[in-house]
Amino acid sequence: MTEAVERSDRQADEAGDGGGPGRRFTVEGFAPRHDGRARERGKALRERTPRERHAEFVPADDRPTAVEAIEASNAGRLTELVPIRLGRMAATPFAFLRGSAGLMAADLATTPTSGITAQLCGDAHAANFGLYGDARGHLVMDINDFDETVPGPWEWDLKRLAASLVLAGREIGADETTARRAAFDAAGSYRRTMRALAKLSALDAWNAVADDQLISFAQAHDLADALQKVGAKALGNTSAKFAAKSTVRTEEGGWRFTAAPPVLSEVPDATARAVAAALGPYVSTVPGELQPLLARHHVQDVAFRVVGTGSVGTRSYVVLLTDHRGQPLVLQVKEARPSVLLPHLARAGHPVTAQDGHEGRRVVLGQKRMQVVSDTLLGWTTVDGLPYQVRQFRNRKGSVDPAALLPAQLDDYARITGALLARAHAHTADPGTITGYCGKNEALDDAIAAFAVAYADRTEADHADLVAAIRAGRLTAEHGV
């Protein structure tokens, strides 16, 4: 970088710049001089894609059926766990949406986009926001699932969030006006938050919308009590508590997980050794200053644990470690599959960013790019030739179940999640450009809400097809697990 600065100095001197206020620097890894016209560039993009067009949703002629899409997404999963995944997806249309990010990506690929790229969560439905602990145990609220993260059109995340809010609203018995309003408010909160961030310096915008001000910022006071209860519960959701419930002392004085199939089960010795050995390379992916912390722990046991809805059937392990005082630390070692969005970005006319080949690294770096504060022990590794992400398990995690809110609370939750999504996107996309595109009026909000209602209708039909296929015996589902 020093050489690049010196080179720019020479070029400036040769051009007669003289080192005055007009001096220009070209430094690799840094932006060229800002011309202050980000909003104008964003506004100009409306000519190519008017904001009203984001209401459009017409399924493509070659769209797979819901059953075909689910069968394709089961490829590579552990077959004995697929019925659990299908049972969870069949529970409600909202649950179906949670497990069908790939199908929605295929649908979004034929919808209009502004042409602005951001790091996407890739699965930004309303249940993928929540609380977790920072390095000092304080609670942070943010997006908390990044299995599908990849650079792409920012609208895809916002449309998935909006559609999920409509489905959650219908599930809790909200009237259609309330459900649609939640989608509208999520889009409006996203737009207003992005506008607020665009007015700040880059450094202030990066850390803006502090979590202790989030309720007031999003005007979500009706949700304050619910978030307080979730936060109190999250503070006790730790490795120590999980270990106390899920482990027993061995005759040799160590600790082992107690099986609770099918959710928590023992693994063969060879698998346990492979997972434990993979923690060695993982340590090198953690910041150097934290490596001595991990070195003070040793592995006690490894078990298999079923997680999530869309993730069911992928390989996911919990590893019990203890320190010199016997205090537990539980890590999750979770298989990282390619993002389901990747095959559909090209069809959308969006550039596909080259991947480095390790999906665990993709997930971890995507998460760090989007969150204000991330798990300090995030990393990645390889087990038996497959890529994995590694993170703390039960790191004071807590979440609001949008399908368990009162109808009157849904719009508050929508505004909070819309604000959090804007904050995350602003880390990798210029908030000024997105602000210029979104504008000051409610044109985009109306369009996103209209799309959300149409897509919620489509999801309900897809869910009905899944339920029919299960009843007909084409697919096998295990319910209530």
Percent of the chain with pLDDT over 90: 76
C-alpha 351/C-alpha 157 separation (Å) is 17
| pTM over 0.95, yes/no | no
Is the per-residue pLDDT at 91 higher than 60?
Answer: yes
Alpha helices in 142-290 (DSSP H): 154-171, 176-198, 202-206, 214-217, 224-235, 239-246, 269-283
Q: What is the pLDDT of residues 389-446, one digit of tens each?
A: 999 998 888 888 999 999 999 999 999 999 999 999 999 999 999 999 999 999 999 9
Q: What is the pLDDT of residues 323-372, one digit of tens each?
A: 999 999 999 999 999 999 999 998 888 877 655 689 999 999 999 999 99
Is the Cα dihedral 392, 394, 396, 401 positive or negative?
positive
C-alpha 385/C-alpha 392 separation (Å) is 22
Q: What is the mean pLDDT of residues 173-177?
A: 97
* Residue of 211, 209, 155, 149 whose CA lies nearest to 186: 155
Model pLDDT, residue 128: 95
What's the CA dihedral at 133, 205, 188, 341 to 10 degrees? -70
Model pLDDT, residue 356: 63
Question: How many other C-beta atoms are found inside a 10 Å radius of the C-beta of residue 243?
Answer: 23
Residue appearing with tokens 């409306």: 46
What burial letters (b/e) apply to 118-155, b meaning 16+ CB within 10 Å?
Answer: bbbbbbbbbbbbbbbbbeeeebbbbbbbbbbbbbbbbb
**3-state SS assignment for residue 224:** helix
C-alpha 463/C-alpha 481 separation (Å) is 18
What's the CA dihedral at 260, 263, 264, 265 to 10 degrees? 90
C-alpha 22/C-alpha 353 separation (Å) is 35
> Which tokens is 226 given?
């619910």
Alpha helices in 77-137 (DSSP H): 82-89, 93-98, 101-108
C-alpha 263/C-alpha 47 separation (Å) is 52
What is the rounded end-to-end Cα distance, in angstroms, of the chain? 54
Q: What is the pLDDT of residues 33-77, one digit of tens each?
A: 667 799 999 999 999 999 999 999 999 999 999 999 999 999 999
Phi then psi for residue 303, to 5 deg, are -140, 165
Percent of the chain with pLDDT over 70: 94
Model pLDDT, residue 446: 98
Model pLDDT, residue 8: 38
Q: What is the pLDDT of residues 218-266, one digit of tens each?
A: 888 889 888 889 999 998 888 889 999 999 999 988 999 999 999 999 9
Least confident residue range of 32-46, 78-92, 104-118, 283-297: 32-46
The answer to whether the bond into 292 is cis (omega within 30° of 0) is no
C-alpha 367/C-alpha 79 separation (Å) is 29
Proportion of the chain in helix, strand, coil states, percent, rounded to 5: 50, 15, 35
Question: How many other C-beta atoms are found inside a 10 Å radius of the C-beta of residue 167?
Answer: 28
Model pLDDT, residue 3: 41
CA angle 93, 460, 446 (to 5 degrees): 100
CA 476 and chain centroid, separation: 29
Name 42's Cβ contacts closer than 8 Å, sequence gap at least 6.
114, 116, 432, 433, 434, 435, 436, 437, 438
C-alpha 142/C-alpha 420 separation (Å) is 6
**Are the C-beta atoms of residues 361 and 285 closer than 8 Å to each other?**
yes
Model pLDDT, residue 11: 43
The domain locations on the chain are: 1-33, 39-230+398-471
